[in-house]
Amino acid sequence: MRVLLVEDHERLGESLREALKAALFTVDWVRSLEDAADLADLNPYELVLLDLGLPDGDGLDLIRTWRAGGRTTPVLVLTARGELNDRVRGLDEGADDYLVKPFELREMISRCRALLRRPGGLAATCVRLGALEVDMTTGAATFLGKPLALNRREQQLLLALVRRPGQVCSRAYLEGALYDHAADPTMNALEVSISRLRGTLRASGLHDAIRTVRGVGYVFQGAGPNAAS
């Protein structure tokens, strides 16, 4: 899941980014409204975490612009403005949730997941595809009841694939799920990640689950008992 974090405070932004990454989000972190608007026009974010008091303006102005333009991406406001009138105004302007600083990182992550479970977000916290079961919040997975030994990158890739079972997942979609805008992956980085995930799945008895569609992307196509051999 790719999220946009807009926070100008250096230490807080770093803490938020690390907490989100630990929760398997791919994070693009910017410190201004201008950069946030530019990246949002380039990338299909699933969630935005937005500070209001930014060096080049008020985050509410950005929300207002997005909503007026038809952008429905969920926005979680992170701000020190904790008065009732501030919270009401933020929600009325189009924010989906409002978290007052200081806050616990665990609560922030929980609110992010709750927003993604709303209509248009992630429909379930657990996805079952035949004998494969994937926890969409932690990335943990089992096949035939046995845990899969997935590293963090494999978890991110599997989550992206199982969100679209039976559908072609383009390179752009999968790379967006794995790399932030500051990353500079090599030409074959995605292929290497796919190969490693296939190896882990095969080691657990799940064979031929990921099909390559040459020149287009990959399809997650099998997770039932017939996929084991």
103 and 133 inside one domain:
no
Same domain for 110 and 148, yes or no, is: no
Q: Is the residue at 94 inside a domain? A: yes
With the C-alpha atoms ordered 19, 141, 3, 101, is the resulting torsion angle positive or negative?
A: negative
Last residue of a domain, one of 95, 116, 137: 116
Considering the domain architecture, whether residues 211 and 176 belong to the same structural domain is answered as yes
Q: Among residues 62, 88, 116, which one ends one of the domains?
A: 116
* CATH at residue 167: 1.10.10.10
Q: 83 and 146: one domain?
A: no
Please check whether residue 73 lies inside any domain of the structure: yes
Is 156 found in the same domain as 97?
no
Q: Kindly write down the DSSP assignment for every residue of 138-206, as one continuous string.
A: T--EEETTEE----HHHHHHHHHHHTSTTSEEEHHHHHHHH--TT----TTHHHHHHHHHHHHHHHTTB
User: Considering the domain boundaries, does residue 174 fall inside one?
Assistant: yes
User: 116, 145, 170 — which closes off a domain?
Assistant: 116
Does residue 196 have a pLDDT over 80?
Answer: yes
**Residues spanned by the domain of 46:** 2-116
Which domain CATH number covers 27?
A: 3.40.50.2300
pLDDT digits (tens, 9 = 90+) for 137-191: 788 899 999 999 999 899 999 998 988 888 899 888 888 888 877 766 777 889 9
- 214 in a domain, yes or no? yes
User: Which one has a higher pLDDT value, 222 or 27?
Assistant: 27
DSSP state of 121: S
Phi, psi (degrees; rounded to nearest 5) at 43: -125, 140
**60 and 143 both lie in a single domain:** no
Q: How many domains does the chain have?
A: 2
Taking the complete model, does pTM exceed 0.75, yes or no? no
Kindly state the tokens that stand for 146. Answer: 């046995």
- Separation of alpha carbons 27 and 20, rounded Å: 7
Contact 90, 77 (CB under 8 A): yes
Q: Are 6 and 41 contained in the same domain?
A: yes
Is 121 inside a domain boundary?
Answer: no
What pLDDT does residue 122 have?
Answer: 47
88 with 57, same domain: the answer is: yes
pLDDT at site 83: 84
Rounded distance between C-alpha atoms, residue 10 and residue 150, angstroms = 32
pLDDT band at 228 (very low <50, low <70, confident <90, very high): very low
The answer to whether residue 152 sits within a structural domain is: yes
Q: Within a domain: residue 199?
A: yes
Backbone angles phi, psi at 127, to 5 degrees: -110, 130
Residues 140 and 67 in one domain: no
Alpha carbons 53 and 27: distance in angstroms, whole number: 20
Residue 229 falls inside a structural domain: no
Residues 167 and 94 in one domain: no
Same-domain check for residues 59 and 145: no
Residues 26 and 91 in one domain: yes
**7-66 per-position pLDDT tens digit:** 999 999 999 999 999 998 999 999 999 999 999 998 889 899 999 999 999 999 999 999
On whether the CB atoms of residues 52 and 90 are closer than 8 A, the answer is yes
